[in-house]
Chain A
Amino acid sequence: MEAAEVCDLLGIEVERCDLGKLLKLVDYMRCIDCETCVVVCEFTHSGKSYVRLLKTRSGVEKPFSCFHCENAPCVKVCKRDAIIRKEDGGLYIIPSKCNKCLDCINACPFKAIRLRGPGGAPGKCDLCEKLRSEGLEPACIAMCPSGVIMMSK
Chain B
Amino acid sequence: MKLSEPDETGRPRPVPIEGSEFLLEADTVVKAIGEIPTPPIYSGCELSEPSGGLKVDQNFNLSGNIFAAGDVVTGPSKIGRAVKQGLQAASKIDELISKGRIGR
* Chain B residue with the shortest CB-CB distance to A42: B84
Interface centre among B80, B81, B84, B87 (most CB of A within 10 A): B80
Per DSSP, chain B at the interface is: helix
Distance in angstroms between the alpha carbons of A35 and B30 in the assembled complex: 16
Are B87 and A35 neighbours in the complex by a CB distance under 8 Å?
A: no
Are A38 and B80 neighbours in the complex by a CB distance under 8 Å?
A: yes
Size range of the chain B interface in the assembly: 10 to 19
Are A34 and B28 neighbours in the complex by a CB distance under 8 Å?
A: no
Q: What's the least CB distance linking A144 to chain B, in Å?
A: 10
Distance in angstroms between the alpha carbons of A40 and B79 in the assembled complex: 11
Are B28 and A36 neighbours in the complex by a CB distance under 8 Å?
A: no
Are B28 and A35 neighbours in the complex by a CB distance under 8 Å?
A: no
Are B87 and A40 neighbours in the complex by a CB distance under 8 Å?
A: yes
Q: Pick the contact of B87: A32, A33, A39, A145 (CB < 8 A).
A: A39
Kindly state whether residue B83 has any CB partner on chain A within 8 Å. yes
Q: What's the least CB distance linking B80 to chain A, in Å?
A: 3
* Chain B residue with the shortest CB-CB distance to A44: B87
Distance in angstroms between the alpha carbons of A101 and B81 in the assembled complex: 34
Distance in angstroms between the alpha carbons of A30 and B81 in the assembled complex: 19
Given pairs A39-B80, A39-B87, 8 additional interface contacts (CB within 8 A)? A35-B80, A36-B79, A36-B83, A37-B80, A38-B80, A39-B81, A39-B83, A145-B79
Q: Top 5 closest A-B pairs, CB basis?
A: A35-B80, A39-B84, A34-B79, A36-B80, A43-B87
